Amino acid sequence: MLYWLGTAAFALAILISVSLHELGHMITAKRFGMKVTKYFVGFGPTIFSFHRGETEYGLKAIPLGGFCKIVGMTPQDDDVAPEDQPRAMWRFPVWKRTIVMSAGSITHFVLAIVATWFAAVFVGLPNPDLPQTAAEERAIPARISVGECVQLVVTDQQGCAPTDPKAPAAVAGLKSGDIITSVGGKPIQNYGELTDAIRALPPGEVPFGYTRDGVAGTTKVNLISAQRAPLDDPDGEVKQVAVAGVGPRLDMPGLVTYGPIDGVGASFDYGWTLVKASFAAMKRIPEKVPALWNSITGDERDPDTPISVVGASRLGGEAIERGVPEIFLMIFISLNVFIGLFNLLPLLPVDGGHIAIAWYERVRSWIYARLKKPDPGRVDYYKLMPLTYAVILIGGAFTLLTITADVVNPISIFSR
């Protein structure tokens, strides 16, 4: 029950976010004097609506977003009444149109920052002192965390399965918190050297030197073979290597809470981290399409593949079911940052496409004025329709692919 309540709550939170996105467009448009004729939550058949002033507000049957109708978004709009021509959006200065079109994304960013501040003060944000890169992870001390088992193949499963063998380090008597000083007689200075030394050896018994509470000791660890990606490249080629069933142990919390004032700076720092991660995720989308398709046709789902709102809602449901609402909150924050950035891409039909065209027109007019040539006028949106349709087709196909993968072979943050 908690799972389905969490899933519904996350879907509702995203619907509210998208509705506020459209509200941002509407409020700024009205402030500048543009005419807004419709504001609806959802799509499809109308459940109810009412008029207030010159705008119709209402709810539609399909809760997959929302929209607001601003009169005359482009010069080619042919449904602008003669009396509304002076208030057509395309007639307003470019800076006003930019504010109106970017207001939706700004709303997502504001939601993300507010939610991040709430997390920083009441839940905690990821500890910035934890290793952020593979190089930083390699450089940390060789203080180990000993697992209960070893997963022989690369998987997103959390915890031990009945078929997973016990961790060789645990069998040999090593304990979490031990500092490894040597492997096979080779001195160890950090976790990167520890991993390199273990993977360079064949499976079998190897002497490990360690210190525990300042006391030196030795033990023999029976290394076993398992699939692992390179430590420096988690997305790299998976190979069979020797493993001991140990990982890095960091004596610091995974989440850090802040005071109300310090939480503001921490929220913006974390938000910038999410911005960089979102751009990196966008660049990886094309290369992840084959993995998405393969997950539908029977392969194991790559946990690093994109997810849809359906998949995000399922993850939110899992978080509530397992009693970790902080994960619910972090997914909500990340998704708002991603949606906000995606809507600013300079492609029609998203908001960034309209902004790009507005500024292209402004710069082109400025250049022609300097060259003492007639103003070339507005961009003909009809000529851009083939490109717009291509973006819609590709975006629609990708959305359908991710939704199908999230239904047929969903990503799970916990083992079930």
Domain 134-248 fold is Pdz3 Domain (2.30.42)
* Whether residue 342 has pLDDT greater than 90: yes
Q: What is the C-alpha separation between 338 and 6, in angstroms, rounded?
A: 21
Report the DSSP beta bridge partners of residue 215. 212
Pick from 333, 356, 335: which is nearest to 345 by CA?
Answer: 356
- Domain regions of the chain by residue span: 2-35+71-122+321-408, 134-248
Pick from 118, 101, 56: which is nearest to 329 by CA?
Answer: 118
Q: What is the C-alpha separation between 42 and 40, in angstroms, rounded?
A: 6
Answer yes or no: are the C-beta atoms of 106 and 340 closer than 8 Å: yes
Tokens of 242: 């020797």
Task: Name the least confident of 189-203, 293-307, 308-322, 365-379.
Answer: 293-307
**Other CB atoms within 10 Å distance of the CB of residue 19:** 21
Q: Where are the beta strands (DSSP E) in 213-248?
A: 215-228, 239-243, 246-248
Q: What is the C-alpha separation between 139 and 363, in angstroms, rounded?
A: 49
By CB atoms closer than 10 A (0-12, 13-18, 19+), residue 9 is: middle
* Whether residue 325 has pLDDT greater than 90: no
Q: According to the model, what pLDDT value does residue 158 have? A: 64
DSSP H helical ranges for 119-218: 134-139, 168-171, 191-199
Q: What is the C-alpha separation between 398 and 414, in angstroms, rounded?
A: 26
Query: Span 394-416, mean pLDDT?
Result: 83
Query: Span 56-79, mean pLDDT?
Result: 89
Pick from 330, 334, 339, 266: which is nearest to 24 by CA?
Answer: 339
Report the DSSP beta bridge partners of residue 241. 226
* Whether residue 415 has pLDDT greater than 50: no
Query: Span 332-342, mean pLDDT?
Result: 94
Q: What is the mean pLDDT of the chain?
A: 89
% of the chain surpassing 90 pLDDT: 51
Report which listed range, 120-134, 161-175, 233-247, 296-310, is most confident: 161-175
* Whether residue 416 has pLDDT greater than 50: no
Query: Span 54-78, mean pLDDT?
Result: 89
By CB atoms closer than 10 A (0-12, 13-18, 19+), residue 134 is: middle
pLDDT confidence bin for 28, thresholds 50/70/90: very high
Give catalytic residue positions.
Answer: 22
Instruction: Kindly give, in sequence order, each residue whose CB lies less than 8 Å from that of residue 122, ignoring residues fewer than 6 positions away.
Output: 257
For residue 104, the Cα-to-chain-centroid distance in whole angstroms is 18
Q: According to the model, what pLDDT value does residue 231 have? A: 76
Report which listed range, 18-32, 250-264, 305-319, is most confident: 18-32
**Other CB atoms within 10 Å distance of the CB of residue 280:** 9
Q: What is the C-alpha separation between 169 and 186, in angstroms, rounded?
A: 17
* Whether residue 136 has pLDDT greater than 80: no
Pick from 123, 139, 148, 152: which is nearest to 333 by CA?
Answer: 123
Report the DSSP beta bridge partners of residue 348. none
Q: According to the model, what pLDDT value does residue 235 have? A: 67
* Whether residue 99 has pLDDT greater than 80: yes
